Each structure stands twice: as C-alpha cells, then as structure tokens.
C-alpha cells in the first residue's frame, strides 16, 4: 500500500486529537472532581447518580429537617406535660391538707384562691407553642387552648354537644331547709308539728356535669331513653319518640328510616314539662336555678347556672343501664382563661355556622421511607376539662363554709341589736343560729369529703397526664432510634454517591500525567513528519 505524506500527516493529526481529548477529559475530571461531566459520557453512572442523589436528598430531609423539627415539637410537649404534672402534684397536696380541715377562715380562703390560681396555671401549660404553632390544639395550630383575653372570649358563641356514659355520673350533696340571706333578714324560721324549728340536713343527688357553668337556659336539647327532646326559646318543648320493637330497638319504615312521633309540650304553671318517652314512661323535666334542687324519681332537672343535669332515681338507673345520654346546649358568655370548647366537644359556631366535629387530629411527620410518627398530643388527652370543674367544686365547698361563717356572724350581730330584742325575735334568731351552726358542721363535713374525693381525682388526672408524657417519651425514643439508622444510612448513601460520581484523585493525576506525556510525544512525532518535504528526497 502506498503511504503518502498527507496520509501520515492526517494520521498524526488524528492521534493528536485523540490524545488531546483524553487530556481534556482528565483535566475536566481534575477540575470538577467528578467522573463524568455529561450523562452521555457514561449513562450508567448518570442513572445511578440520579438515584443516589434522590435517595440522599430524602435522607437529608428526614435527618436534617424532619427529625430535628419533630424532636423539638415533642420536647416542647414533654416540657409542658411535666409542668402540668407538677401542678397536679400541688393540687394533690392541697387536697391532702384540705381533707384534715384544721384551718381557720382566712386559711380556707387562701386555699380557695390558691386552687383557682393552680387551675389557671394548669391550663396555661396547654397554650405552649413551638415555632409559633400551638402543640396541644390538633390541626388548629394557630389557636390557643384557652381564650387569651375577654375580647377574644366575647366573640365566641357555640352550640356544644356532650355525650355521657355511666362513668360520667356523679353525685352532689344538697342542703334541705337551709337558711338563705333573705330568711335571715326576714326572720323566716320553719317549725314542725311539735313546734320545733326544722333543722337543715343534706341529701345526695345524681348529676351529669357539663363542661361549663353559666350556660344558656334556652335552646338546649337532650337524647334520653330513645327519646329526643328540644327546648325552644319560646318555652315550648318538642318531643320526638321512636317506635320500638319487643327488644327495644328502633323500628324502620320501608325506606329504612326510624318510625317517629313528634309532639309539642308546653310547661305547666310551675314551669315543668310532662313528657312520655319512647317506652311509655312518664318523665318530668324542670328548669331550675336552685343549687339545692332535688328532682323526683322520674325527673330530669337542668341548672344552667351550675352547668348540671340532675337526675332522679329512676332516670339515673335508666342512664346507668343504657350507658347513654346526650345533652346539647349553648354558651356565649366566655371569659378570659376559659377553655375553647372545640378542643373537647362537637360544636357549632353560632355566628359562622362552622361545624367542629371532635375527632382525632394527629399531626404526623415523615421520618423515614414509608415511616411516619405522630408528633402532637391533643388537649383532651392530657389537660382534662373535668379537672377545672372538680376544682370549681372544691372552691365551692370552701366558699359554702365561709358563707355560713358570715351568716352566723350576721345572726350573732342581730341578736345584740335593739330592734331584735323582743322575745319572739330572739327565739327565731336562736333557732336560726342553731340551724346555721348545724349547717356549718354539715358544710365542713362536705368540704372535708370533697377534698378527700379530690385526692383520688387528682391521682386520676396525674395518671392521665403521666401516660401522655410517657407516650411522648416513647415517641422521642423511637425518633432517636430512627435518627441513628438514618445517620448510618446517610453515611452509606453518601459513600455510594461519592464512589459512583467522584474520581480517585491519585489515579486521575497519574493518568493525567501519562496522558500529557503521550500528548506531548504525539506533537513531537507529528512535527517531524510535517517538517519533511519533497526537496528532502531530491538530490
């Protein structure tokens, strides 16, 4: 084959280009520290790099952002629960002290004020936030657990539905033949058939306690013994009864709807409603403001002031057996530090019509591949609304004793006044004084019992918040374990990514030096070929 100079030059130029390309490739690798600069250089490395980078981004998101954020949220929650438990411990101590009843009036008043302050402190712990998000209010992370001002509280107007079971039934002590301030001023004394003054006494009444006191005494409804009763603002009651089969189950029509009968009932002269429920049982309903009201055996009484539904003996037995009772009421006179009802109950905002169904509101974070963790604890899981109502009962029991001490002092003062110096007035005042002293003894006994009950109640609330705190601790432990696994995974993925993309610097430097030598040699060889012309061969 004939080899021409041009062919040799072309061959030399091609070799120079190949060597130059190799030098350029190695130079780029040294500059970027990466094996490839374009996917086309090595598609396998490129595809693997995309997968490893995506994995590394996910692991980084979990490890550097999600887990630390979840840990901070849970740590904030844990701190608040620990403080809440500390408050309950103090309440427990006060209950222990109060159960001994060895205090003077001033000390009792101090105890009452301390209980109120601790109640506020307890629920204030439910207002803690992390990064501007309140941690105990479910999905409503922009809303506090309690109203922070009277102005904000005044805007609240809700229809609240509470569902009760047999475990929600409690008893309260009421006084019979008790003397009121009006009785003292008017010297009203009751005598029996023998002419003896009727002395105060106590009775026990079954009750279902609402979450709030001072609620509206109109526009409420209840469901009891397969009977729905609603009370309108005009004073009428609408009673819906259900047709029941032999087993007490609701009968259905052809369309699958319960067969019902609706009647309207008006109150009698005493303000009582006579109602017949779905089982044909006669029932009386009463609206009362008397804190010592005693319902009849087949009677339900609603005290909007105290926030209580009182039950007679037969009503109590039915509710206990059925384990079911529902009461819907309205409240619009909230004040600062009151609890937001939407955190605890099914509610309807009477101003906007928005319906709030109380369901689980778990805030979850992704902390690993296909792995989530709940980071929030809801208020009803730790900050029981009934604790506040129990404290209110304790304060009321203390206040009852203080009020009676004041009434006794008032009667003793009246006995020294000239206008009551006549025999009849002195007799009445002496009878009152005896009655008030007995009532004070009864009230002190009830106060002691209330504090004794408070000991068990606070133990129950402590157990509730301790369980919530332990659950948070378990989730923190789970986070730490996941964090450890992700740290190892982060290292492994980072190493795999580096092995796939990054050059071995020593090898590339050696290869680059070798390529430079080859490139320079090819230049020198080519220069010799180019230097020779036709004249070099003539002679």
Asked if the structure places residue 294 within a domain, the reply is yes
Contact status, residue 99 vs residue 451, Cβ threshold 8 Å = yes
DSSP H helix total and E strand total for the chain: 11, 18
- Grade residue 302 by pLDDT with cuts at 50, 70 and 90: very high
pLDDT in tens, 310-321: 999 999 999 999
Asked if the structure places residue 289 within a domain, the reply is yes
Specify whether 29 is located in the same domain as 165: no
Report the candidate in 265, 322, 273, 329 with the shortest Cα–Cα distance to residue 298: 273
Q: Which of 28-42, 55-69, 391-405 has the lowest mean pLDDT?
A: 28-42
Q: Compute how many other C-beta atoms are within 10 angstroms of the C-beta atom of residue 153.
A: 18
Asked if the structure places residue 255 within a domain, the reply is yes
Asked if the structure places residue 311 within a domain, the reply is yes
Place of tokens 């190493």: 495
Report the candidate in 130, 100, 95, 133 with the shortest Cα–Cα distance to residue 114: 95
pLDDT tops 90 at residue 354 = yes
Asked if the structure places residue 148 within a domain, the reply is no
* Cα distance between residue 169 and residue 325, in whole Å: 10
> 309, 331, 353 — which closes off a domain?
331
Assign 273 to helix, strand or coil.
strand
Q: pLDDT > 90: what percent of the chain?
A: 65
> 331, 354, 377 — which closes off a domain?
331
DSSP code for 487? H
* Cα distance between residue 447 and residue 107, in whole Å: 14
Domain residues for the domain of 534 are 1-33+503-539
pLDDT in tens, 110-168: 888 999 999 999 999 999 999 999 999 999 999 999 999 999 999 999 999 999 999 99
Specify whether 322 is located in the same domain as 184: yes
Contact status, residue 82 vs residue 122, Cβ threshold 8 Å = no
Asked if the structure places residue 493 within a domain, the reply is no
* Cα distance between residue 482 and residue 239, in whole Å: 57
Phi, psi (deg, nearest 5) at residue 275? -125, 145
Q: Any idea what the Cα angle at residue 73 is, between residues 68 and 78, rounded to 5°?
A: 120
Rounded to the nearest integer, the mean pLDDT of the chain is 89
Contact status, residue 344 vs residue 211, Cβ threshold 8 Å = yes
Asked if the structure places residue 531 within a domain, the reply is yes
Q: Considering its fold, how many domains does the chain have in total?
A: 2
> 297, 331, 365 — which closes off a domain?
331
Q: For the whole model, what pTM was predicted?
A: 0.85
**CB-count exposure of residue 111 (10 Å: 0-12, 13-18, 19+):** buried
> What's the pLDDT score for residue 531?
63
Specify whether 305 is located in the same domain as 162: yes
* Cα distance between residue 263 and residue 228, in whole Å: 11
In total, the chain counts a number of residues equal to 539
> What's the pLDDT score for residue 502?
67
């Amino acid at each position: 084959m004939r080899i021409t100079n041009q062919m040799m030059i072309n061959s030399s130029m091609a070799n120079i280009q190949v060597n130059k390309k190799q030098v350029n490739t190695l130079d780029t690798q040294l500059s970027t520290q990466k094996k490839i600069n374009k996917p086309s250089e090595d598609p396998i490395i490129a595809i693997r790099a995309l997968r490893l980078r995506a994995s590394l981004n996910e692991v980084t998101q979990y490890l550097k952002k999600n887990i630390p954020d979840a840990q901070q949220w849970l740590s904030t929650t844990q701190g608040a629960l620990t403080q809440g438990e500390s408050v309950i411990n103090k309440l427990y101590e006060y209950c222990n002290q109060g159960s001994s009843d060895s205090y003077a009036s001033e000390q009792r008043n101090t105890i009452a004020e301390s209980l109120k302050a601790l109640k506020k402190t307890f629920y204030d712990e439910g207002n803690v936030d992390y990064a501007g998000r309140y941690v105990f209010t479910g999905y409503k992370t922009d809303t506090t657990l309690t109203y922070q001002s009277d102005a904000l509280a005044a805007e609240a107007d809700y229809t609240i539905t509470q569902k009760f079971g047999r475990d929600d039934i409690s008893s309260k002590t009421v006084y019979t033949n008790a003397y009121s301030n009006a009785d003292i001023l008017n010297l009203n004394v009751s005598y029996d058939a023998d002419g003896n003054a009727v002395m105060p006494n106590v009775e026990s009444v079954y009750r279902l306690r609402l979450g709030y006191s001072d609620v509206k005494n109109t526009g409420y409804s209840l469901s009891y013994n397969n009977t729905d009763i609603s009370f309108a603002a005009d004073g009428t009651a609408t009673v819906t009864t259900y047709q029941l089969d032999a087993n007490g189950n609701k009968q259905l029509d052809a369309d699958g709807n319960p067969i019902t009968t609706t009647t309207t009932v008006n109150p009698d002269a005493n303000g009582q409603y006579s109602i017949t429920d779905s089982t044909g049982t006669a029932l009386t309903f009463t609206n009362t403001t008397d804190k010592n009201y005693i319902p009849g055996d087949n009677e339900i009484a609603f005290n909007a002031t105290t926030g209580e539904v009182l039950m007679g003996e037969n009503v109590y037995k039915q509710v206990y057996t059925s384990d079911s009772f529902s009461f819907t009421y309205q409240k619009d006179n909230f004040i600062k530090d009151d609890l937001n009802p939407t955190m605890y109950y099914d509610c309807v905002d009477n101003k906007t019509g928005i319906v709030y169904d109380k369901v689980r509101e778990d805030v979850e974070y992704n902390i690993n591949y296909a792995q989530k963790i709940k980071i929030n604890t809801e208020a009803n899981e730790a900050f029981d609304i009934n604790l506040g109502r129990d404290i209110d009962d304790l304060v009321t029991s203390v206040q009852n004793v203080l009020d009676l001490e004041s009434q006794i002092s008032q009667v003793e003062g009246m006995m020294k006044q000239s206008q009551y110096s006549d025999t009849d007035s002195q007799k009445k005042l002496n009878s009152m004084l005896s009655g008030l002293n007995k009532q004070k003894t009864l009230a002190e006994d009830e106060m002691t019992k209330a504090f004794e009950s408070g000991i068990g109640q606070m133990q129950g609330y402590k157990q509730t918040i301790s369980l919530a705190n332990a659950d948070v601790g378990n989730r923190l432990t789970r986070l730490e374990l996941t964090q450890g696994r992700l740290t190892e995974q982060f290292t492994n993925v980072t190493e795999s990514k580096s092995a796939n993309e990054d050059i071995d610097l020593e090898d590339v430097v050696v290869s680059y030096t070798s390529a430079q030598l080859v490139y320079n040699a090819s230049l020198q060889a080519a220069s010799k070929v180019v230097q020779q012309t036709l004249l070099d061969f003539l002679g």
